[in-house]
Structure 1
Amino acid sequence: MSTLTGKKALVTGGSRGMGAAIALRLAQGGADVAITYVQNEAAAKEIVTKIEAMGRRGFAIKADAADAGDAVGSVERAADDLGGLDILVNNAGVGVLGPIGDLSLADVDRVLDVNVRAVFLASQAAAGLLRDGGRIISTGTALGRYAGGPGGTLYALSKTALTGLTKSLARELGGRGITVNLVHPGPIDTDMNPADGPFAEPQKANTALGRFGSADEVASLVAYLCGPDAGYVTGGELVVDGGHSA
């Protein structure tokens, strides 16, 4: 059912994994979609081709979320290319795992720049561009709600910061009917964390369902939050983690 017909969406980090699944699901719902990518232009163009095959407009924007100018510029360019903006999905992120004593200052800077600063800057830019009734959705992590084991301190820190941003921004933008929500995925089968990878079994064991989720299952939740049925859902943390935090 086309519940997003006429909507204009930007999905950061939309060339692969969860971002690609989200972009395609929004296009399936009727939205025109812009995505950002860092290096793999071919993968980004493939997603755009799939979006256009659905009869929607698609755009690929090269942007590194670690660069403050790119974080803001990608939102502005998406609104220009699409002819407006209704939806921002802050999906781009990086993960650096390891004992806290082994993490370098460069590791800390990059994770916080991409996972926190870029989300703030993109949301700030979008706040001035979104039409009334718009949507901002960010990708968190189940590790921000329940520690899965040692080594995830920096990553969990960066994603947990989005809780404060989400709740405060929901209050700030609520008067315009703009909703702001945070989605916490658990173990999701992607290139970065494959369900048959060397660290998969402990992650499966930590879920109630005993399996990895799919990128499409995350995309389904995001699409719901973008649609009219979720108009009264804001400032929330929604988990799609197979019971990881149960």
Structure 2
Amino acid sequence: MPSAVVTGSSRGLGRAIALRFAADGYDVAVNYHTSEAAANEVADEVRDAGQSAVVVGADVSDPAAAQRLVDTAAAEFGGVDHVVNNAGIDQHVYTADLDPADFDRVMDVNVNSAFNVTKAALQHLEASADEPSITNVSSILAHVGAPIEVHYASSKGALLSLTRSHARDFAPDVRVNAIAPGHIETDMTSDRSPEEKAEELEAIPVGEYGEPADIADAAAYLRDATFVTGETLNVNGGEDMR
């Protein structure tokens, strides 16, 4: 069976991607940092779909932990065919109040983790016979910026540059693409006030939030789109058209 490593897959977008890959016939390495119970639930759902799963707790911003994640997946599945770099954190802080340590931490988790996992997995991907791919989960904010999330938006912009650079670096052996989600209904948006949600929805031409399944669909497309590399798939309901 082909296999995939999906970072940050115990909840939200990562969970939806992991389950979509399982439904499509892929064994999945489910990665978490703090939510072990949730990760085990995702792994059980992967197995219910008829696929193998392994759960690996790892802070992939640490290169050694990222290597352990990939090594565990490769040992369990006999290789790694696809990687989805989804792990990320967010924080709402105005620049004047932003601690440089918090800026560094967001960059570390959102950018360095993708580099770490990619580097750890590269030799396995290059050896894969399954049209191997890497998909990085960025954000609409990489394009439009954010007034109280400058470190988050900056990290997601850097992730797009990393995507394009790796696409050139690894061609023709491994395709590398990105997804830039808009407003998606997850636990990261659950704390929005009704006023904030109304304002956000007014800016989305389709008039509703996206669902994690929309991002999973995009990840599945990029996994299978063998003539697409170095691209960013914008999934935002028309909020930012480019």
CA distance in 2, matches of 1:11, 1:202: 32
Greater shift in the superposed pair: 127-136 or 30-39: 127-136
Residue 213 in structure 1 maps to residue 210 in structure 2: yes
- Asked if 1 retains the 8 angstrom alpha-carbon contact of 2:61 and 2:116, the reply is no
CA distance in 1, matches of 2:48, 2:84: 22
CA deviations 1:185-213 (Å, max 9, x no partner) are: 0010001113x831322222221112110
CA distance in 1, matches of 2:188, 2:95: 21
Q: Which one of 169, 179, 185 corresponds to residue 181 of structure 2?
A: 185
- Asked if 2 retains the 8 angstrom alpha-carbon contact of 1:37 and 1:61, the reply is yes
Q: CA deviation at 1:68?
A: 2.8
Residue 134 in structure 1 maps to residue 129 in structure 2: no
RMSD: 1.3
CA distance in 1, matches of 2:239, 2:66: 31
Alignment size in residue pairs: 236
Letter in 1 for 2:9: G
CA distance in 1, matches of 2:22, 2:63: 27
- Asked if 2 retains the 8 angstrom alpha-carbon contact of 1:36 and 1:60, the reply is yes
Runs (4+) of structure 1 exceeding 6 A deviation are none
Letter in 2 for 1:146: V
Q: CA deviation at 1:76?
A: 2.1
CA distance in 1, matches of 2:199, 2:56: 36
Alignment of 1:1-246 (within 5 A): 6-130=1-125, 131-132=128-129, 133-147=131-145, 149-176=146-173, 178-194=174-190, 197-198=192-193, 199-227=196-224, 230-246=225-241
What TM-score comes out, normalization by structure 1 length? 0.92
CA distance in 1, matches of 2:54, 2:115: 22
Q: CA deviation at 1:70?
A: 1.3
Q: CA deviation at 1:244?
A: 1.6
- Asked if 2 retains the 8 angstrom alpha-carbon contact of 1:17 and 1:191, the reply is yes
Structure 1: gaps spanning 5 or more residues: 1-5
CA deviations 1:93-129 (Å, max 9, x no partner) are: 0012221111112211210110111111111111122
Q: CA deviation at 1:69?
A: 1.8
Greater shift in the superposed pair: 16-25 or 35-44: 35-44
SS of corresponding position for 1:175:
coil
CA distance in 2, matches of 1:16, 1:123: 21
CA distance in 1, matches of 2:114, 2:175: 15
CA distance in 2, matches of 1:139, 1:205: 24
- Asked if 2 retains the 8 angstrom alpha-carbon contact of 1:182 and 1:236, the reply is yes
Letter in 2 for 1:102: D
CA deviations 1:54-80 (Å, max 9, x no partner) are: 110011100113323212321222112
- Asked if 1 retains the 8 angstrom alpha-carbon contact of 2:5 and 2:30, the reply is yes
Structure 2: gaps spanning 5 or more residues: none
CA deviations 1:123-154 (Å, max 9, x no partner) are: 1111122125201000000011123x511211
SS of corresponding position for 1:75:
helix
